[in-house]
Structure 1
Amino acid sequence: MSKKDYYKILGISKSATDLEIKKAYKRLAIKYHPDRNQGNKNFEEKFKEIKEAYEILSNQEKRSAYDKYGHKAFDQSNYNSYNGNFSSTNDFGDIFGEVFGDIFGDEKKDHFEKGSDLQYNLNINLEDVVNGIEKNIKIPTFKKCNFCKGTGNRKNLYNNKCNTCNGNGQIHVRKGFFTIQQTCYTCNGNGKHIKDPCYKCNGEGRLNTIRTLSIKIPPGIDTGDKIRLNKEGEAGKNNAPNGDLYIKIKIKKHPIFKRKKSNLYCKIPINFSIAAIGGIVEVPTLNGKVKLKIPKETQYGELFRIREKGVKTINSMYLGDLICKIIVETPVNLNEKQKKIIYKLGKSLNTSNGNKNSPKYERFFYRVKKFFENLRKYKI
């Protein structure tokens, strides 16, 4: 008796995707499963057809052979003629559990998760940001056990497949109509069971160690930036891949400069004579000193910009600027001669031109005068 077309059995087209095949199988398997239709031979036969169709079409090699040769590809006489080295399964739970897991979005986890990612907090000086720097750091981490070569097995055997789950890390338990997938109780989901663990690493395949790494810090890096070093984190258990190492940057507080992105800020104290009549002052930068011209009548808090004396940022090739805030300093520790000079200067400022030498002073007291005049009006 000729067999039915597998695509028609599942009610799908020949161009159906893997997900469409699984959805169709799930829908039909629920309808015709023997547990829901006990004693119904027709449903039992129908379910066998559905299961057989899914086994073929869900496997890329089997599906390709079926599309090319039809049912002949799986005749016993031709079983090996069309690359038909396919192992069939009689365990409905394996297929059904896989279909449900894929449809509902459960991802199969690796038997061995990679080693943990590590973070190292690195403090650097602002000067290091200008040209970049290379730093040596020491980190506590795990390394692969040399004695067992990372296998965790005393005899360096790599074939430690768990017999309970056949190396899958998961087992399927039938509960009536449903099949429940659980973590293997023998290997705890690792897929491997070590009978003779390595005495050096106790079967983990890794050992505690202190590693020294040379880290290149690029120019322009800033506080909060992270440098990722692939596979420089902890070694995974039993030859699993290493995790990653993250270097988190923090720039130390500088005694002179403050940084905001690519610009630097600093305060420049000057005496009141330079502020009044102007002059030249030396200003520090990260590359040495530069001269800054102070114009006459400079006031406290005025800002001066020195171009391209800041720093670069990671994503820019342009230098920032140095922003200088002027701090006019009141003189202290005056001797008698200096006091007399200051006194005469102050007296001349108050008498010769009124308050024209101190415009802010004059404007302030004018506003005070108007305030009290208005206050008297309200009292009347």
Structure 2
Amino acid sequence: MAYKDYYDVLGVSRGASDADIKSAYRKLAKTYHPDKNQGDEKAADKFKEIGEAYAVLNDPEKRKVYDQFGHTGQVPPGYDTGGFQGGDFGGFDGSQFSDFFQDLFGRATQGGAGRRGGVSTNFGGMPGTGGAGFPGGAQVNLEDLLGGLGGAGQSRRFVQNVEGELQVTLSEAYHGSDEVINVDGKRLSLRVPAGTRDGARLRLAGQGPGGGDVLLTIRVLEDASFELEGDDLTTVVDVPAPVAALGGDVKVRTLAGTTGNLSIPAGSSGGRKMRLRGQGWPRKGGGHGDLYVRLNLTVPKTLSDREKELYQQLRDLQS
């Protein structure tokens, strides 16, 4: 079997830092995550592949062995690996745990999992398991888990916090949003505060299995109408060419849901930015940033006879 180079899989150099590797993994995982590519087997295989690569390159001991001895990790006798025993790096799929994690966080197809499937099952390394791990999230002591499942009267014991991601729209992040997630068969309600930023962390203390915490990273989805930068928002509004030339009003919708008139000065050109103060993102200390409106000049695709006549007159004046 021909193995792919893990550095090539993540698109990083062999001298990449831990931060570079983590950043590359997060970008690729976001692109190929099964939640965004339902029914796409190639995307699922790619997601599995980058997970395998990250599990090795993010672990200093495994990366050291991989760099020296390649994909198979066959270590000569007596070589000090710092505790890692080597072995074939390939074959990572996590299928033996997939049903467990889906049950833990609720399947997207079940009711009560919340919109967008509740917490995405993008779980991370499982320290102490001796396996490749699941990059980026729920951490469980595998020995305790298997021990709990193996004997009558024994119960599963989770000794670490559970992590996941919760996706919200830009509008939900702006206004705040009430969400319901499913953790280990238990429905949990939570409030995403108004003005939440991408990457913000929410903690549900004591709500995880065995009294652990549920740690959620908020992922704010991109919006086709608004772009957020700092405390300011930017939107684009279409302006008919005659209005741009002579001046006039156009309607502008804000993320808050209100619609108002914006006065366009005569002689405005396409790409010009105009500012609406206080119509941007909520600030921590109170108030809002600004909303910038970028003008997009438009011309009609079809013209009436009268419009053609007027445009011809205008063209003749400029010739």
**TM norm structure 1:** 0.41
Structure with bigger gyration radius: 1
